[in-house]
Structure 1
Amino acid sequence: MSIARQVSPELPALRRFARLVAGSQKSGDAHVVATLEALTADPGAFPSGLPPRQGLYKVFLKLWSSAAPRPLHGGFDSDPKNAAERNLEAITPLPRQTFLLRTVEGFSVDEIAAILDRSPEAVANLITQAGREIAQQVATDILIIEDEPIIALDIETMVQELGHRVTGIARTHKEAIASARVQKPGLVLADIHLADGSSGLDAVNEILTSLNVPVIFITAYPERLLTGEKPEPAFLITKPFQADTVRATISQALFFDRRAGRPAVTADAGAR
């Protein structure tokens, strides 16, 4: 089977990725076409030993880098920008590519390392850098609902390293509701089994009756959230988790939040 036929199922996803990297559909599509032309002219340019999807993105990004594209700032199509496009403008090129590969395209850190010819440690650092750059634009207050002290402290450290603020760490349903009322968060990180046997899911449901905020569930029981009931687990991390997964998911949740791009309001200045 030809390389072109092998990679053809991946082209819609590559066009989406190219648009986000390039800043416009026209430019993104042009680079996708250039990638296909390069592979047609020289099938040997396709990386041996990589699955078709990884190899396609590797070739695309190699050509993209060699083309020395213009800075992304101001480069998006003239249509009104959504939150993701506004936030992309704030991220430098390589961290932006790494962040998109991880959060939008769903590649693992090891897969991204192979695509970018970098170590997994370097990829994790780039994801963290992207998260910090996003936080410079959309730094927010985060409520952590977690009954295990060590895990809660680990998550708090990750949140603060990205440049966000922690409004509180709640161990029970009652504490979570009280914390959310006193200092309204811009993001909630929640376990579903809490210290007194209460439910983090119930706490989140109650919080969402008065606040419209993104939620990330961090749980050892993901099947409890796959019921079709609200709130839908748009962001779900399974315990035990990797630190880079938590950092990337926090950045992703804020990156795609439709309100993102506005500076967060501190507790002293009032609620968001």
Structure 2
Amino acid sequence: MPFESRVPAPQPVPARPGRKLGPIADTVGSSHRAWLEHTRDSYLASGLTLSELGLRIPLAKSKLSELLRGLGLYPRWEVVHRLSAELDMPVSPLYRLWRQAALDAQKTCEWVQRSSDKSALTTPHPHPPVAHEPFRRTVEGDYRRYAQVFLTDASRDAAVDDTFDILWLSWNSALASPDIRRYAWNILRATVMAKTPHLDGRPELGSAVFDTVVMRGLTGVAERAEQMAESLELFRAISRLPDHLLDVMVLRHLCGHTVEQTSALLGVPPPVVRSDERHAIRVIFPPPESEGPIE
């Protein structure tokens, strides 16, 4: 397959002296976490200590620790920019993710502008990795169709754009993974679900009822109303499926993808897609008790 990973996994970084960096705070929002996790990964892979990194930026070790844990006030871009330069991170996707997280944190556009007007968006990585853009062109339309099932148009576009920015930031990890397609899909799923309204811990699919494959083929008002009621019940059942079964059902029955297309997007073999689809259908439409349990 053209996007299978062929780069061996990186060797573990030797343990650094000093106190271990604490976890990301539970209060950190999903958009903030999107760029913070990869900044932390770059720091941990650098081999630098907090003290060494703090001297280079410069920033007090305690403040640097707070930044890398998402504690305190949302960081200004000029600080994140200096940090990214020391960690050799691509600036363009990092800035876009930082800006979106700032707006999600209720920062004004004026604050964002003031925070970043002294830091030029120059970077040693002005363009995505060579294989990133061909991969994006291959899957972007399908990613948008999947996201559309859960989100409004604006949120859909933001989720897909964020997905490719996160993939750019973590490209080396994607190359080292067993399959880039699966790695990228996991990013898309996490990004979409972070923006999706949930009910009782499960994603809501109600907005997708107006644009399913079945609904597009109906013209009569009564026919559409009947199908909509049936679809809403089906959506509720699909939303309660485990994640991997939900994705297969959304791609196959709401997006209209073939088994082979679904396999390519998820990065799993076609037999796995068929098995997951059969399992999902049996969960949604269990057989009568007289038929006995399914093995």
TM-score using structure 2 length = 0.34
More strand by share: 1
TM-score using structure 1 length = 0.36
Higher-Rg structure is 2
